[in-house]
């Protein structure tokens, strides 16, 4: 009880700190010889208040204080401590509080760490950021207060959705939010820089660090979500082009485009308008994502909490931000009068433009695919589904030239270039053709587009691999990320093409046998945990090479809420995953058994880690 009061009032104090900060910023902006120390203190104070509030919520969860409505809705006394804590941000109210926590932390770090930039720019960025922060405060206090009382306090809570009780999902939201919120700093800073007409190389160098931070966290956040979907949702897929997945991919695409585009701005002070538009777009897309997920407009596996009133608030807030940024962009932005915007067709600039071009295309595919069904439903009340086939058809063919551009582009010089090492480029081309040819011949791939994709991804793979040895540390960050991307495409392709699967119904003691695989359903154990009962099935699986595996998938029957989940058992090895999951068949003593062999699964995860490592290297690198 007391914690809810503390949390609630400290939220209001945080909001007050925001208003005071805006007041100080205006004063300081008029008289801007040096940064007012009060600004720094209040910024810290704001972060501190939100932290108190966040800790209060965590404590409420830990002690299971059911007089708090959020705790009542999302927790239960029998839940393990770890999930009581992670349950804090496993729900709408708590996750918004986490958003706010990161927002206030980031702006404080921004003020502290930004040196060599004009004072007025820092103050203005703070001002824009405070607008966002105050918006979130109002949203939180108005429509989704995490500290609502319940009287009389219930004895027991409703419990957390069991599929959210998982270690990967406990850290997935915080990591993803670090990425989203980082993009808000980019947004505010771009608006500030536009207003002060200082979008230049030095600004690009300064903001690039923030772009990299958000990019790394966003990449890792998406990865964690994907890993979670793979083992928890029980179908062995890792990406379904589900609206909620798309919504996290869109800011990532925009941010990746920005990351490349800013390289040009760093050098040549051109493309300024484009950089600003991308900065605005990235944050707007993150907000759009929050809106679409929270408003319940989308039909998705990942929709856990929705409420139309919240949707309306976010929508209004979103429009206000878009309007503000467009206003600033059109009234303050000066296009550079630099004449050097004429690019030679074979140069690094052009290749970055090509990157931007394709990325924008991918973004538009994902965006249109996600929102088109909503609009169609509203306009003509026709319901259509846009699923994986749509995205594959529109994206896969365009990946081929994209991969080639990724291989060649980084090797070009600025301004004007011609291809060096033609011999290597062509010989690697031939090697990759031969290799893909070999793969296709041996494994009966019968789709043309896949074979060409394999070939182009292999090409990128070889070229980046060679660059590791030839160029050593030059362009190391970029090369690592591109290498990771080629590995990702290859792993996804091989995973798609060579996965095999057996679906069958078995009773205890029965055996399934085809020529390649023998599955013996040996026994069943029962186990009782604090918050669930589980049925563990033991399988013995022998494949054609005589390798024996014991796998024990589980069915968990949670008591609060009463939901049954299937826990897959996965045997991960370097080259392939063996994945087995069981389900009850209604009113029978059979179990539905699904056994999958999925090659290169581990490599999909690893390659995304490699991609973000590329970002990390670039972040740590001193600029030469």
452 lies in the site for another protein, by CB under 8 A: yes
Q: Of 493, 328, 361, 482, nearest to 410 (Cα)?
A: 482
Other C-beta atoms within 10 Å of 227: how many? 19
CB of 580 to another protein, least distance (A): 13
Query: Strand, helix or coil at 161?
Result: coil
How many chain residues touch another protein (CB under 8 A)? Answer: 63
Whichever of 31 and 444 has its CB closer to another protein, that residue is 444
According to DSSP, residue 573 is labeled -
Whichever of 80 and 387 has its CB closer to another protein, that residue is 387
CB of 426 to another protein, least distance (A): 8
235 lies in the site for another protein, by CB under 8 A: yes
260 lies in the site for another protein, by CB under 8 A: no
Sequence length of the chain is: 624
Whichever of 210 and 539 has its CB closer to another protein, that residue is 539
State how far the Cα of 621 lies from the Cα of 246, in Å rounded to an integer.
31
| Binder of another protein out of 41, 201, 202, 299 (CB under 8 A) | 299
CB of 506 to another protein, least distance (A): 14
431 lies in the site for another protein, by CB under 8 A: no
Query: Residue 561: is the preceding peptide bond cis (ω within 30°)?
Result: yes
Whichever of 18 and 243 has its CB closer to another protein, that residue is 243
Whichever of 168 and 368 has its CB closer to another protein, that residue is 368
State how far the Cα of 63 lies from the Cα of 94, in Å rounded to an integer.
16
Q: In angstroms, what is the C-alpha Rg of the chain?
A: 26
**Are 82 and 170 contacting, i.e. CB atoms less than 8 angstroms apart?**
yes
| Binder of another protein out of 269, 349, 569, 577 (CB under 8 A) | 349
State how far the Cα of 525 lies from the Cα of 555, in Å rounded to an integer.
11
State how far the Cα of 132 lies from the Cα of 613, in Å rounded to an integer.
30
Whichever of 212 and 506 has its CB closer to another protein, that residue is 506
Please provide residue 330's backbone torsions phi and psi, each rounded to the nearest 5 degrees.
Answer: -80, -30
Whichever of 290 and 451 has its CB closer to another protein, that residue is 451
How far, in Å, are 154, 167, 223, 301, 590 from residue 229 at the CA level?
33, 12, 10, 9, 26
Whichever of 39 and 277 has its CB closer to another protein, that residue is 277
CB of 243 to another protein, least distance (A): 7
448 lies in the site for another protein, by CB under 8 A: yes
State how far the Cα of 342 lies from the Cα of 339, in Å rounded to an integer.
7
CB half-sphere exposure, 512, CA atoms < 13 A: 22
501 lies in the site for another protein, by CB under 8 A: yes
Tell me the DSSP string of 601-623.
HHHHHHHHHHHHHHHHHHHHSPP
| Binder of another protein out of 34, 116, 335, 444 (CB under 8 A) | 444
State how far the Cα of 210 lies from the Cα of 275, in Å rounded to an integer.
14
141 lies in the site for another protein, by CB under 8 A: no
242 lies in the site for another protein, by CB under 8 A: yes
CB of 69 to another protein, least distance (A): 25
| Binder of another protein out of 82, 149, 323, 357 (CB under 8 A) | 357
- Stretch of 9-17, 145-153, 203-211, 444-452 contacting another protein, by CB under 8 A: 444-452
Query: Strand, helix or coil at 23?
Result: helix
Q: Which two tokens stand for residue 21?
A: 């900060």
Query: Strand, helix or coil at 577?
Result: strand
According to DSSP, residue 575 is labeled S
| Binder of another protein out of 286, 351, 495, 566 (CB under 8 A) | 566
Whichever of 346 and 465 has its CB closer to another protein, that residue is 346
440 lies in the site for another protein, by CB under 8 A: yes
423 lies in the site for another protein, by CB under 8 A: no
23 lies in the site for another protein, by CB under 8 A: no
Whichever of 360 and 606 has its CB closer to another protein, that residue is 360
Whichever of 80 and 561 has its CB closer to another protein, that residue is 561
Q: Of 609, 580, 579, nearest to 592 (Cα)?
A: 580
State how far the Cα of 617 lies from the Cα of 624, in Å rounded to an integer.
14
529 lies in the site for another protein, by CB under 8 A: no
590 lies in the site for another protein, by CB under 8 A: no
| Binder of another protein out of 44, 48, 390, 404 (CB under 8 A) | 390
CB of 88 to another protein, least distance (A): 24
Query: Residue 152: is the preceding peptide bond cis (ω within 30°)?
Result: yes
| Binder of another protein out of 323, 372, 414, 473 (CB under 8 A) | 372
Tell me the DSSP string of 226-283.
HHHHHHHSSS--S----HHHHHHHHHHHHHHHHHHHHHHHHHHS--HHHHHHHHHHHH
Query: Strand, helix or coil at 595?
Result: strand
389 lies in the site for another protein, by CB under 8 A: yes
- Stretch of 78-86, 128-136, 218-226, 445-453 contacting another protein, by CB under 8 A: 445-453
CB of 288 to another protein, least distance (A): 18
Please provide residue 550's backbone torsions phi and psi, each rounded to the nearest 5 degrees.
Answer: -105, 120
Contacting residues toward another protein, per CB under 8 A: 233-235, 237, 240, 242-243, 299-303, 341-343, 345, 349-350, 353-354, 357, 360-361, 364-365, 368-369, 372, 376, 380, 382-390, 394, 398, 429-430, 433, 436-437, 440-441, 444-448, 451-452, 455, 501, 566, 583, 585-586, 592, 594
């Amino acid at each position: 009880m007391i914690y809810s009061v503390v949390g609630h009032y400290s939220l209001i104090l945080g909001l007050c700190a925001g208003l005071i900060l805006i007041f100080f910023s205006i004063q300081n902006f008029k008289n801007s010889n040096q940064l007012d120390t009060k600004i720094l203190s209040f910024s810290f104070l704001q972060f501190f208040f939100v932290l108190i509030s966040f800790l209060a919520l965590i404590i409420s969860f830990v002690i299971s204080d059911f007089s708090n409505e959020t705790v009542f809705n999302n927790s239960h006394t029998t839940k393990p401590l770890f999930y009581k804590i992670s349950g804090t941000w496993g729900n709408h109210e708590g996750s918004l509080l986490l958003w706010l926590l990161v927002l206030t932390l980031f702006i404080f770090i921004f003020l502290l760490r930004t040196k060599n930039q004009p004072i007025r720019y820092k103050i203005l960025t703070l001002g824009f950021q405070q607008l966002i922060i105050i918006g979130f405060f109002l949203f939180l206090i108005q429509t989704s207060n995490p500290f609502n009382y319940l009287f009389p306090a219930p004895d027991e809570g409703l419990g957390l959705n069991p599929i959210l009780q998982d270690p990967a999902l406990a850290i997935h939201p915080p990591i993803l939010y670090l990425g989203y919120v980082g993009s808000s700093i980019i947004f505010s800073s771009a608006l500030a820089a536009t207003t002060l007409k200082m979008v230049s190389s030095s600004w690009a160098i300064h903001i690039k660090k923030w772009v990299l931070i958000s990019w790394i966290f966003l990449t890792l956040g998406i990865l964690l979500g994907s890993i979670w979907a793979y083992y928890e949702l029980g179908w062995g897929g890792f990406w379904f082009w589900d609206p909620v997945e798309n919504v996290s991919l869109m800011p990532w695409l925009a941010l990746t485009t920005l990351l490349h585009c800013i390289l040009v701005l760093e050098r040549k002070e051109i493309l300024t308008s484009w950089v600003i538009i991308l900065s605005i777009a990235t944050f707007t897309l993150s907000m759009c994502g929050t809106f679409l997920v929270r408003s319940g407009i989308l039909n998705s596996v990942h929709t856990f909490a929705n409420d139309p009133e919240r949707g309306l608030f976010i929508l209004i807030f979103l429009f206000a931000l878009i309007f503000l940024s467009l206003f600033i962009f059109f009234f303050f932005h000066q296009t550079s009068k630099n004449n050097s915007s004429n690019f030679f067709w074979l140069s690094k600039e052009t290749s970055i433009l090509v990157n931007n071009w394709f990325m924008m295309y991918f973004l538009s595919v994902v965006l249109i695919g996600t929102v088109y069904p909503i609009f169609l439903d509203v306009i003509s009340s026709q319901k259509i589904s846009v699923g994986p086939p749509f995205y594959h058809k529109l994206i896969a063919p365009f990946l081929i030239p994209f991969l080639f551009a990724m291989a060649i582009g980084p090797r070009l010089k600025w301004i004007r270039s011609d291809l060096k090492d033609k011999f290597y480029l062509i010989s690697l081309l031939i090697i990759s053709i031969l290799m893909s040819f070999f793969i296709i011949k041996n494994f009966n791939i019968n789709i043309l587009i896949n074979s060409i994709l394999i070939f182009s991804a292999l090409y990128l793979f070889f070229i980046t691999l060679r660059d590791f040895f030839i160029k050593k540390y030059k362009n190391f960050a970029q090369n690592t990320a591109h290498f990771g991307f080629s590995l990702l495409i290859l792993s996804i392709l091989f995973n798609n093409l060579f996965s095999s699967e057996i679906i069958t119904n078995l009773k205890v003691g029965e055996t399934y046998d085809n020529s390649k695989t023998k599955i013996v359903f040996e026994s069943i154990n029962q186990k009782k945990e604090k918050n669930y009962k589980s049925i563990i099935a033991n399988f013995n699986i022998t494949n054609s090479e005589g390798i024996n595996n014991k796998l024990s998938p589980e069915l968990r029957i949670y008591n609060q809420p009463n939901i049954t989940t299937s826990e897959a058992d996965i045997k991960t090895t370097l080259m392939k995953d063996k994945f087995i999951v069981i389900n009850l068949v209604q009113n029978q003593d059979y179990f539905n058994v699904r056994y999958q062999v999925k090659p290169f699964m581990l490599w999909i995860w690893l390659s995304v880690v490699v991609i973000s490592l590329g970002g990390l290297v670039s972040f740590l690198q001193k600029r030469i």
